[in-house]
DNA sequence: CGCCCTTTTGAAGAAAATCAAGGGCAGTGG
DNA sequence: CCACTGCCCTTGATTTTCTTCAAAAGGGCG
């Protein structure tokens, strides 16, 4: 069942009855393959679908006048975008595939009907949006100090990858170059490199290529005051 | 009618029928006065109301371990917060009054019922949230260069103040100290001062105390690539 | 093997923080 | 009325952080 990653994600947001699960699994969808660096949604486009990442990573990003890029959001398997479709508004930023991705397109009307049938689904969409917003606030909050921002980002990505079932112990894969990480934090790739090496020296982090390893999660979290609650505002 | 600012705001988001207006005006609410620097919602609190700012400015903020503050959102008259209430999640940040404020508290259940009665209201709430998110993305995007960030912020505030009916020509009032502006941009008050003076020298901006004047809106906008679409993703 | 992309390191320069201090202005109280 | 106080704005000097420029060293893949 291809929509499995979405179900997994939704299950972290709300408690799904088997009826809700049925509603979701009966959603009509089509799966598209998107090659890395290709856009899933372009600036100015008015999405008529809700998009769910099934495999791979995608990112919200904007380009500046000088050509530099800033990533303003990341989507891991199970994450969706284009909920935005409810508003008929044009995209003020783009969403691009970071790696080759499988993406499910679900018709906006079908989503609206599903929300009618399973109100808890509407609640889940709200929660997902609020988490997106909470993440943006954290990124803004941590943007003062590159080292702290990096540590916090890695804590966040580790946690999100873990929730998506993409970790092995304290090891995980981040399919971004150091330049990509820089675009996330708003620093140059050179500075990204130095910050990473520093964390490695301090034994808060280890990495080889795009494989990352956190020797001591508590220590890394402590270094950047990371507290995971904002990622799953799930309490019911 | 005290809820006037909220109506005005909603009218920028969706087209309200007179029935919708009636639904909104019949919402039960109570008005509270909040003194400046007091919290409307504290960290950890689980809001059971939706709060609407009727007069004054409020801000979302977080405190860092070192005591410094970062403002991650601003609320002008008509703006609401605590929509968040739908999720029962505890606040991961605080909302405080920037100036003395009048705030309306509307019971969460009443809001849910109003959304049932006037679905367009639900759409408006979604739009408002999406605009909050778009603003956060812009702040992140512009956080690279203090001068550009400041110009962009002032363009945004002018536009938002204008939509709320708080401007006189190109003149408007920003009830924040330079330290407050610094907390918005993530820079020190000293640097804030230098950036403002620079804009003044360049004749992109004039100010005296908290009164700001933009001699040439197009010029200021051009300097920071400001384009207002993200503020009112209103197209229907 | 050779090429391209990415990582790594060095050195110089710009942007912003920090440290330090003076000045204006409004409110308060003698 | 004036001195005092607190808050905010302003400016200068110094230090830290990050960028820019430059170049070398891996690493995967045709």
Is B193 within 7 A of strand D by CB distance?
A: yes
Cβ separation B186–A87 shorter than 8 A: no
* CA-to-C1' span, A197 to D21 (A): 21
- Output the tens digit of pLDDT for each of chain A's 236 residues: 789 999 999 999 999 999 999 999 999 999 999 999 999 999 999 999 999 999 999 999 999 999 999 999 999 999 999 887 778 889 999 999 999 999 999 999 999 999 999 999 999 999 999 999 999 999 999 999 999 999 999 999 999 999 999 999 999 999 999 999 999 999 999 999 999 999 999 999 999 999 999 999 999 999 999 999 999 865 44
Encoded tokens for A166: 């993409």
Q: Which value, in Å, is the radius of gyration of the alpha carbons in chain A?
A: 18
DSSP 3-state assignment of B105?
strand
Is B12 within 7 A of strand C by CB distance?
A: no
CA B215 to chain centre: 23
In terms of Cβ atoms closer than 10 Å to its own Cβ (0-12, 13-18, 19+), residue A171 is middle
CA A93 to chain centre: 15
Average pLDDT for chain A: 95
Which of A187, A223, A150 is closest to B140 using CA atoms? A187
Work out whether strand B29-34 and strand A58-63 pair parallel, antiparallel, or are unpaired.
unpaired
Would an 8 Å CB–CB cutoff place B228 in contact with chain A?
Answer: no
Is residue B28 pLDDT above 50, yes or no? Answer: yes
Sorted by sequence, the CB contacts under 8 Å of residue A198 that are 6+ apart come out as A147
* CA-to-C1' span, B87 to C17 (A): 39
Q: Please give the pLDDT value at position B1.
A: 73
State the virtual CA torsion across A43, A48, A50, A52 in degrees, nearest 10. Answer: -60
In this structure, the number of other CB atoms found within 10 A of the CB of residue A112 comes to: 14
CB-to-strand C under 7 Å, chain B 165-204: 186-188, 190-191, 195
Residues in chain B: 236
Cβ separation B62–A127 shorter than 8 A: no
Backbone angles phi, psi at A205, to 5 degrees: -155, 150
In this structure, the number of other CB atoms found within 10 A of the CB of residue A90 comes to: 16
Q: Give the minimum alpha-carbon distance from B150 to chain A in angstroms, rounded to a whole number.
A: 15
Backbone angles phi, psi at A30, to 5 degrees: -130, 145
Q: Please give the pLDDT value at position A236.
A: 41
* CA-to-C1' span, B40 to C23 (A): 35
Rounded distance between C-alpha atoms, residue B76 and residue B1, angstroms: 18
Cβ–Cβ under 8 Å, residues A101 and A58: yes
Q: Give the minimum alpha-carbon distance from B117 to chain A in angstroms, rounded to a whole number.
A: 14
Cβ separation A233–B89 shorter than 8 A: yes
Average pLDDT for chain B: 95
pLDDT tens string A157-188: 999 999 999 999 999 999 999 999 999 999 99
Is B147 within 7 A of strand C by CB distance?
A: yes
Rounded distance between C-alpha atoms, residue A58 and residue A5, angstroms: 14
* Residue numbers in A near B139 (CB within 8 A): 140
Please tell me what DSSP assigns to residue A15. P
Would an 8 Å CB–CB cutoff place A145 in contact with chain B?
Answer: no
Half-sphere exposure of B108 (CA within 13 A, CB side): 12
Q: Give the minimum alpha-carbon distance from A164 to chain B in angstroms, rounded to a whole number.
A: 21
Which of B78, B37, B81 is closest to B183 using CA atoms? B37
In this structure, the number of other CB atoms found within 10 A of the CB of residue A65 comes to: 8
* Residue numbers in B near A129 (CB within 8 A): 129-130, 133
Q: Give the minimum alpha-carbon distance from A31 to chain B in angstroms, rounded to a whole number.
A: 26
DSSP 3-state assignment of B157?
helix
Query: Which of B108, B141, B146 is best to mutate for the A interface (most A CBs within 10 A)?
Result: B141
- Tokens 């994450």 belong to which residue? A79
Cβ separation B60–A225 shorter than 8 A: no
Would an 8 Å CB–CB cutoff place A140 in contact with chain B?
Answer: yes
Backbone angles phi, psi at B206, to 5 degrees: -135, 150
* CA-to-C1' span, B133 to C15 (A): 28
| Protein-contacted positions of strand C (CB under 7 Å) | 5-11, 15-20
Cβ separation A72–B137 shorter than 8 A: yes
pLDDT tens string A39-67: 999 999 999 999 999 999 999 999 999 99
Work out the percent of chain B whose per-residue pLDDT is above 90: 93
Cβ–Cβ under 8 Å, residues A225 and A156: no
Q: Please give the pLDDT value at position A82.
A: 81
DSSP-derived secondary structure for B166-180: --BTTEEE----HHH
């Amino acid at each position: 069942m291809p929509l499995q990653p979405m179900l997994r994600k939704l299950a972290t947001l709300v408690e799904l009855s088997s009826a809700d699960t049925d509603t979701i699994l009966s959603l009509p969808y089509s799966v598209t393959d998107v090659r890395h660096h290709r856009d899933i949604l372009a600036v100015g486009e008015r999405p008529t679908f809700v998009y769910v990442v099934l495999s791979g990573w995608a990112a919200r990003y904007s380009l500046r006048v000088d050509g530099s890029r800033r990533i303003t959001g990341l989507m891991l398997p199970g994450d969706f975008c284009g909920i935005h479709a409810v508003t008929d508004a044009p995209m003020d930023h783009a969403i691009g595939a970071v790696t080759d991705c499988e993406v499910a397109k679900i018709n906006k009307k079908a989503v609206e009907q599903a929300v009618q049938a399973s109100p808890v689904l509407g609640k889940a969409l709200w929660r997902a949006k609020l988490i997106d917003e909470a993440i943006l606030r954290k990124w803004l909050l941590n943007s003062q100090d590159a080292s702290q921002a990096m540590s916090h980002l890695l804590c966040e990505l580790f946690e999100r990858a873990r929730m998506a079932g993409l970790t092995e112990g304290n090891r995980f894969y981040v399919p971004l170059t150091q330049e990509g990480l820089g675009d996330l934090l708003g620093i140059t790739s050179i500075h990204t490199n130095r910050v990473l090496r520093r964390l490695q020296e301090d034994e808060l982090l280890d990495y080889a290529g795009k494989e990352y390893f956190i020797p001591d999660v508590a220590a890394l979290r402590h270094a950047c005051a990371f507290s995971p609650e904002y990622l799953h505002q799930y309490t019911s």
